[in-house]
Every structure is written in structure tokens, then in C-alpha cells.
Amino acid sequence: MAQTRQLDDSPTAEGFLPRRDFLRTLLAGIPAMALDWNSFPRGPSVARTGGADYDAVIIGAGLAGLSCAAAFARQGFRPLVLEQHTVPGGYATAFKRLGGFVFDVSLHSTGAGERAGVHDLIPGLPEIKGLEFVPHPYLYRAIFPGFDIRVPQRNTAKYAEILAGFFASEKDGIVGIIEDMKGLARDINRYSQSGGKADMATFAKDFPYLVKCSGKTWGQMLDARIRDPKLKSIISALWGYYGLPPSKLSAFYYALPTIGYLEEGGFYPKGRSQAISDALVKFIRERGGMVKLGARVERVILEGHVATGVATADGTEYSARVVVANANPIDVFESMMDEKEYLKDYLAKLRKMSVSLSCFQVFLGLKKDLVGELKIPDSEVFYSPGFDDDAAYRSLLEADLRDPGFGLMLYDNVYRGYSPPGKNTINIMSLQGYDHWARFEEDYGNGRKKEYRAERERIADILIKKVEEVLLPGLSGAIEIKEIGTPLTNWRYTRNYRGAIYGWDQTLDNSGPTRLPQTTPVKNLYLAGAWTQPGHGYGAVIPSGLQCFAEIMKSWKEAPPR
């Protein structure tokens, strides 16, 4: 009874909802584990029965847009994807350079579905075949002052043992925090598999970890188990994946993907992330859908606050029953339509949300197998110069590289043949705030890049020297090809606001059910991708596209096309 009263009366960390109401809201944001394809309408499409040109026009060929279009095509409908870049995939792309080097734009590690003993599955779309995901030799390596830890693949007991070897007095807390993450995943999986049915009177007993973690940051979740600040930072080594330090990051958004990595492993696709995007494009086209590249959408066509299509930069108009924006909502609602008065409350809400960090990347092709010569077995390495994650975050926001950390990807240790024979492909990455680059915006847009290029070279040199000092001696002299990506590069190729790589920050008030929903105030206009539910990352944006499709199918069942 005491637990039930606490569930009724205790406020969440945000302080604006009773816990019972908060949990109801939370549960409403947990989707079903798998789509019930048989429950969805099927073609013939609206377009084939007269009226609109397409059943759905999707703005943007990121993974969310492509997965949404693939779902439409799978059901016999006719989607059209319009992408401003000449390559599909958004951040899931690759680019070629001289010497046979092919660089992945973003992917270091992701989860992968398994069937018949082979990791080749895009969850939700089992018909897509031909992909192969290979495991990292270690999940990752974390280097801190005085600590150098290799995290094993799919072995949480071994991981706990390694940590306890450094922090013997924290053994119970280490086991406890891992169990908290596992328990949270179990509770959410069980709730999802139940079809969203839960007895609120016994909820605290039935889903104890979900109750325990609700309304908490990852830092608060850690504080309940771990005392040593160094251990807290080491356990949180992956926070760069999620864009916020533990003190600001929703517990759900650290715990769930992290335990997924720890238990299921980290993988990388042969053919790079571009292979995932290309497989989705092929699937769409084979089933009658269309993907147009180099087609930038400038305007969402509205009739009485209802989306009826889009217009591209060349003046072409495409009509559709629904429009799905796999694009940043600020541009969609402020630049692609003139509805500021009608949308004033919605726009005010968007402007209050904090935008995630961008990133700075150095892509290097080495003229020799330096990684092999140094006998380094790792593929993904995180280096931190200290244990104060909040201070590190402030440095990233300000692009302060006086003592930088970094993420390092050594792709040739993932699978043989990644690079040209006898060479290496590596990526150095640092999260970075956009404000440092805002001063170059106007000149960058007008092709005046002298000062911009000097600054990106300065920062790249700092990161290269730091990697050389920490892990790869001789790196500077081994470079054959160097490319640099900045927050402005991210904006140029993806049009993400402020070059964001994670959409909105995953704060307590902007994650899970409180994150921007896929429905919008404009009828027949939907959102998919990192800016909406469930969030960012390869393992979230593909489900986002599928969830968006499911939301549209729900509305079509309630009001069938005529």
C-alpha cells in the first residue's frame, strides 16, 4: 500500500506531474516491440485510385525517412522520398577519396538483429537481405588517467569483474547498476510485449525498475549505486554517444542503449553505413516507391492548415495524402511554410528546446598499416583527460581544446580489407558546440572559406597530435589523405539546425514521451528522425520512421482514403 500511495503522490524530478500521471504519459510513449504488419491497410495506393500523386512524400532520405518510405512500399503504397543531397542516408553515408580510401561519415558501432546465426537484420524490415554486420573485437576501449579498460563484447559479468578489479569496494554497486540497466530493459520489453496493458494499482510491483528510473538523470541513477567519482565517469564513458553528461542526460537514454551494447554487442556493417541506406533505397524502388536525389524541398504546400504536398527548389510540386518530414522541425515550420500565427504556440515550444551538440571530425587515410605495426587490437577507443564530465561538456560546448578528449575509430580492426592493402582508415571525433563556428556562417555560405579553413586545420592538428601522444605514435608522418568535417559541414550536407547530430538534447523534459511527437499541429504532416520520438542514433531513427508509418496507418484506418 505504501508503494501505491507513493506512486500516486510523489512528484517526478521535473516537479510538474504526479508520478502516476507521469508514468501513464511515459507508458504512452513506449511503442510496441514489433510492427503488426497484418493490422495495417494495404494498397492499392491513393495515387492509383485518383487524387494525389503519391501516398506519402517524405522530406529527407535519412534512415528515418527511408525506413518510413520502405514501410509504405512494403504495404503496396507509393512513397516518394526527396533528398537535397546527391547521396541517400543523411549521416548514414560514405565518401570516396584518392588512393582507394572510403570514409564513413558517422557510424562507429550499432546493434544488429540476428537470424540463423548471422547478424544481417534491420529490425522491423526482415525482407531486407544482403547486409552483413560484423562484431567489434572489443565493445570499446576506455582510456582515463591511470585506467585503460577494454570492455568485452556480450559479457556483462566480465565487465563487472574488470571494474571491480580497479574498485574492489564498489563491487556491489557495480553489479547493482548493471542490474538496474538490465531490469529497466526487461520492464520496458515486458510492457511493450503486453500490448501496452498495465494495472496501475500494481504497477510499482510489476515494473519496479521502470518506476525506479522514471524522472531521473543517468547521474542520479549512478549516485544511488556508486560513490567513487572516477568510477562514475568510467561507467559513463559512452555519454558522448548520447550528447550530454550524466548530470543532464535522461537515465533512460543512457541505460537502455548501453545495456543493449553490453548484452547484445556492437557491430559494424560491411560496406559501411552507406550499405544500410542503399539497401533501404533498393527495397523502396523494387516495390514501386521513388527516391529522388538532389531534390531540395523548399515549401510544404498547405490548404487550410492541411499538408497536401511539397514544392522543390526547381519549382516542381508533388501532391500526397501525407507529408513526412525527416528534417529538423525548426526549418520545416519556420522556413517551409508561412504559418507563424497559427503555429505560434508550437514554435514557442520548439524554441525552448535545447539543440544537441554538433561534432568535429578528422578523416585520415594512412599510407601504411600503422595500427598493425603498433599491434593495437582495438577498433573503437574513447580517451578522456579527466573525470569531470560536466567540465568536459562545457569545454565541448565552447570548442575549448586545451586538453581535449577524443573518440577514435580504427576501422581496419573491424574487418579485413576495409582499407587499401597495407594502409589504414581512421576517424578522430570530438563533440563540439556550434557557436564557435557561427562567426564563419556568412562567409562559408558565400564560398569565402579562408579563415574557416585555417581554424579547422588548427583544431584538426590539435586532435591529431593528441591521438599521436596517447595511442598512435608516428601518426602525423603516416598521413596520406586528410579530410575535416565541422559543424558547418554537418549543416551543409544534412541541413540539421546548428549542425546537430542528435536532434534535441535528451534531457529529462525532452526524452521518451516528452520528446516531440510524430504528429504535428498541421494535419497530414508528420515527423520522423532524431528530432522526434524515440530519439537519435541508428537504433532509434529507423524505429522512428516505422513508428511514424504506424501512426499514419492508425489515422488511415480511422478515416480510410476515399
Instruction: Map out the domains of the chain as residue ranges.
Output: 37-89+274-354+505-558, 108-136+357-498, 155-262
CATH class of 37-89+274-354+505-558: alpha beta
The pLDDT of residue 335: 94
Instruction: Kindly tell me if the per-residue pLDDT of 475 is higher than 80.
Output: yes
Mean pLDDT of 129-149: 95
Q: What's the angle, vertex CA 503, arms to CA 501 and CA 504, rounded to 5?
A: 130
* Each residue's pLDDT tens digit, 476-487: 999 999 999 999
Q: What is the mean pLDDT of the chain?
A: 89
Q: How many CB atoms lie within 10 A of CB 285?
A: 14
The pLDDT of residue 8: 36
Summarize the chain as % helix, strand, coil (round to 5).
40, 20, 35
* Each residue's pLDDT tens digit, 9-38: 333 434 434 445 545 545 544 554 467 888
The pLDDT of residue 194: 67
Rounded to 5 degrees, φ, ψ at 74 are: -60, -35
Cell of 129: 537481405
The pLDDT of residue 6: 30
- Nearest-10 crossing angle of helices 171-193, 156-166: 150
Which residues fall within 8 angstroms of residue 301, CB to CB, at 6 or more apart? 307, 308, 309, 310, 311, 317, 319
Which residues fall within 8 angstroms of residue 474, CB to CB, at 6 or more apart? 370, 468
Query: What 3-state class would DSSP assign to 59?
Result: strand
> Scanning the structure block, which residue is given the C-alpha cell 592493402?
421
Residue 49: pLDDT band by 50, 70, 90 thresholds? very low
Give the C-alpha separation, 248 to 390, whole Å: 9
Burial (CB count <10 Å: 0-12, 13-18, 19+), residue 367 = middle
* Each residue's pLDDT tens digit, 52-70: 799 999 999 999 999 999 9
* Each residue's pLDDT tens digit, 514-561: 889 999 999 999 999 999 988 888 888 999 999 999 999 999 986 655
Which residues fall within 8 angstroms of residue 420, CB to CB, at 6 or more apart? 99, 100, 101
Mean pLDDT of 364-382: 97
* Cα Rg of the chain (Å, integer): 23
Has domain 155-262 been given CATH number 1.10.405? yes
Inter-residue contact 291 to 83 (CB < 8 Å): yes
For CA atoms 339, 343, 348, 351, give the dihedral sign.
Answer: negative
Q: When comparing pLDDT for 213 and 454, which is higher?
A: 454
Which residues fall within 8 angstroms of residue 187, CB to CB, at 6 or more apart? 207, 208, 209, 210
Which residues fall within 8 angstroms of residue 362, CB to CB, at 6 or more apart? 427, 428, 429, 460, 463, 464, 482, 483, 484, 485
Inter-residue contact 378 to 410 (CB < 8 Å): yes
Inter-residue contact 397 to 358 (CB < 8 Å): no
Mean pLDDT of 332-336: 95
- State the first-to-last Cα distance of the chain, in angstroms, to the nearest integer: 52
* Each residue's pLDDT tens digit, 400-443: 999 999 999 999 999 999 999 999 999 999 999 999 999 999 98
b/e map of 416-451 (b: 16 or more CB within 10 Å)?
Answer: eebbeeebbbbbbbbbbbbebbeebeeebeeeeeee
Residue 110: pLDDT band by 50, 70, 90 thresholds? confident
Give the C-alpha separation, 54 to 79, whole Å: 6
Cell of 336: 517551409
Rounded to 5 degrees, φ, ψ at 128 are: -75, 120
Helix (H) and strand (E) counts for the chain? 21, 20
- Best CA proximity match to 424, nearest among 98, 101, 107, 138: 101
The pLDDT of residue 528: 96
Give the C-alpha separation, 320 to 309, whole Å: 5
The pLDDT of residue 561: 52
